[in-house]
Chain A
Amino acid sequence: MARFIIRRLGGLGVTLLLTSFLVFGAMHVAPGDPASFLLKGRSPTPEAVAAVRAQFHLDDPLFVQYGRWIGSALTGDFGRSVQFRQEVGGLLAARLPTTVALVAYAALIMVLGGLVLGFLSAMRPGPVDRVILLGTTVAVATPSFVAAIALISLFAVGLGWFPTFGGGEGVLGTLRHLTLPAIALGLSLVGLLARVTRASAVEELRRDHVETARLRGLPESIVLRRHVARNALVPVVTVTGTVVSGLIVATAIVETAFGLPGIGSMLVQSVVTRDFPVVQAICLLVVLAFVLANLLVDLLLPVLDPRTRQYAP
């Protein structure tokens, strides 16, 4: 087990290194130039452009720039933001808690809602199943920006139950400010997870071992809990892992819509302003989250399904 984790962490390092180069390279292939943004609104003299390019080392070959960047990134220094003229590390650290709280909140809504609706749907065929199916179809088809607009106009502007803007103070304030964004973020995924859970549970209900369990006279509560729900969880956990890490990317839209000071809205601003150091750091952060989420799923699956244990090296 320890060897398995160490090997996976080694793989994590290699993945991060490769993606860091891709991210870095992609930024430089993209059209636009930080220098022209910095000197926006003025007609720059060639000297001024040259000075800015020299300050941000934009004239060095790509590999030299990458080497310099990754070298300091390894020591925790992601450079200075072109836009904010501050250390990227500090900027991110200030905004990360909001995003982490938002993602955690949305993940909680997604997992609770998805599991409850999915299992209910599978175990109550008929009207309950059909209503849930219809609801989850609508939810899956609702992009987070549409959900955001609908939620703001209904609960924030119309009913005034929740604020429309900002991050809030303290635990309760944060919770209040994050409720609508978390719902907007998690809604379509509640639908997705409910669908996956339902399909998985319906399949398990048809299994021979479930029929056998009933014929053996086991109480129905045990049949459903131990032999249907538990087995149905295996694919659900896999899907949840990938989807939760995808939530971090989706915060870009929701944080912008709700004016939350998180790294998602920061990513959008930074892309618009060609703030390369910030975009690179956030991309690496997202990759890190994906790899960690997958590692977590890989560690969890053998706990859920003993048959996968013999394959874990």
Chain B
Amino acid sequence: MNVLEIDGLTVRLEGSVGARPVLSDVSLHVAGGEVVGLVGESGSGKSVTCRTALGAVPRGASVDGAVRTVGEDVFGLPARELRRLRSEKVGFVPQDPRAAVNPLYRVGDYVIEALRAAGVPKAEAPDRATALLESVGIPEPRRALRRWPHEFSGGMLQRVVIAAALAGSPRLLVADEPTTALDVTIQAEVLSLLLDITAERGAGLLLVTHDLELAAAVCDRAYVMYAGRIVESEPAASLFASPKHPYTAGLLRATPSLTGPVERLTAVPGRPLGLDEVLPGCSFAPRCAHARPVCDDGPPPLLEDGAGAVACVRAGELAPELRRRAHEEQAV
């Protein structure tokens, strides 16, 4: 059963009539127990997308399309029900724990607040909080409740945030670049914790990241976003081995490989599309080495292709070359 279904979602910011929407016709789904990556550069719309799973859209934005989270139509829910959905059925893990935790309250308060919002009685909350902190690997959890956020390292604090996200036994976890703000040495630890607890609970995980290699390594499937659109969706393994969209291929070549030899990285040329820039055809065309006049004939539709889908009119003819170059890179 799908714990998240986003269907034809278009989000337009207030006062941006005529300009490009932040999200255009985005569709994705996450099944229970599945780990799904959402990959893209800054400004591609991935954070906006993952927040719509919690029924949150930028202030004053207009929304088309539907988002069903754990069976609920989030945009049709009254405020009270939406709050229940957020506190009981979905867990949210933000990017920077230092910014996401109010520094004026104790670590325990952060977790207990979440438990209370999920309907746990006041008397039980401290014990439940201790158990949650223990389950995410906080040493001396009982004492940790009384400590302050500034006494914790970023990694430890992100564990606290994850513990609080579990307060309501969520069916879906939404993690917005959960390791980007952490030291490289502890990124892997926090990520594997997130994956373990998701698997243990059979919950779905929507993992937002700008790291394609990471997404390919830990996700079951991944979506690649560019300029507010999903340009490719694939099972993670084939995304890495045989990218079908030139943008995905470009991202792969721009990522340093841990296993391969050191070689010169190729940046994706040009810059991401601004929100005020509207193109008649493919948004990636100005940066694409394979662009032809046909690319400007309207936005390319996301078409099914094997196990995945790709939004590129030349995907068929380019596939052999992109696959060859991906392999070349690994073989060198």
Binding site for B on A (CB under 8 A): 207-209, 212-219, 222, 226-227, 230-231, 234, 304-307, 310
Contact between A216 and B99 (Cβ–Cβ < 8 Å)?
A: no
Q: Is B87 an interface residue (CB 8 A)?
A: yes
Kindly state the separation between the CA atoms of A215 and B104 in the bound complex, as whole angstroms: 19
Identify which of B83, B148, B150 contacts A217 (C-beta below 8 A).
B83
Q: Is B152 an interface residue (CB 8 A)?
A: no
Identify which of B84, B96, B150, B168 contacts A307 (C-beta below 8 A).
B150
Identify which of A207, A217, A222, A226 contacts B86 (C-beta below 8 A).
A217
Identify which of A218, A230, A304 contacts B117 (C-beta below 8 A).
A218
Contact between A217 and B94 (Cβ–Cβ < 8 Å)?
A: no
Q: Indicate the size class of the contact surface on chain B.
A: 20 to 34
Contact between A226 and B105 (Cβ–Cβ < 8 Å)?
A: yes
Kindly state the separation between the CA atoms of A112 and B52 in the bound complex, as whole angstroms: 39
With both beta carbons as reference points, the residue of chain A lying nearest to B88 in the complex is identified as A217
Please judge, given known A-B contacts A208-B94, A208-B96, A231-B104, whether A218 and B54 are in contact too, CB under 8 Å.
Answer: no
With both beta carbons as reference points, the residue of chain A lying nearest to B165 in the complex is identified as A216
The 4 tightest CB contacts between A and B, nearest first, are A217-B87, A217-B86, A208-B99, A212-B100
Chain A residues, CB < 8 A from B168: 217
Kindly state the separation between the CA atoms of A1 and B178 in the bound complex, as whole angstroms: 38
Please judge, given known A-B contacts A212-B92, A216-B164, A218-B113, whether A226 and B102 are in contact too, CB under 8 Å.
Answer: yes
Chain A residues, CB < 8 A from B323: none
Binding site for A on B (CB under 8 A): 51, 54, 56, 82-88, 90, 92, 94, 96, 99-105, 113-114, 117-118, 148, 150, 164-165, 168
Identify which of B82, B87, B96 contacts A216 (C-beta below 8 A).
B87
Chain B residues, CB < 8 A from A226: 102, 105, 113
Kindly state the separation between the CA atoms of A216 and B160 in the bound complex, as whole angstroms: 14
Contact between A208 and B103 (Cβ–Cβ < 8 Å)?
A: no
Contact between A216 and B86 (Cβ–Cβ < 8 Å)?
A: yes
Chain B residues, CB < 8 A from A216: 86-87, 92, 113-114, 117, 164-165
Identify which of A212, A219, A230 contacts B94 (C-beta below 8 A).
A212
Kindly state the separation between the CA atoms of A128 and B179 in the bound complex, as whole angstroms: 41
Q: Assuming A217-B87, A218-B113, A305-B103, what are 7 further A-B pairs, CB within 8 angstroms?
A: A208-B96, A212-B92, A216-B87, A216-B165, A217-B86, A217-B168, A231-B102
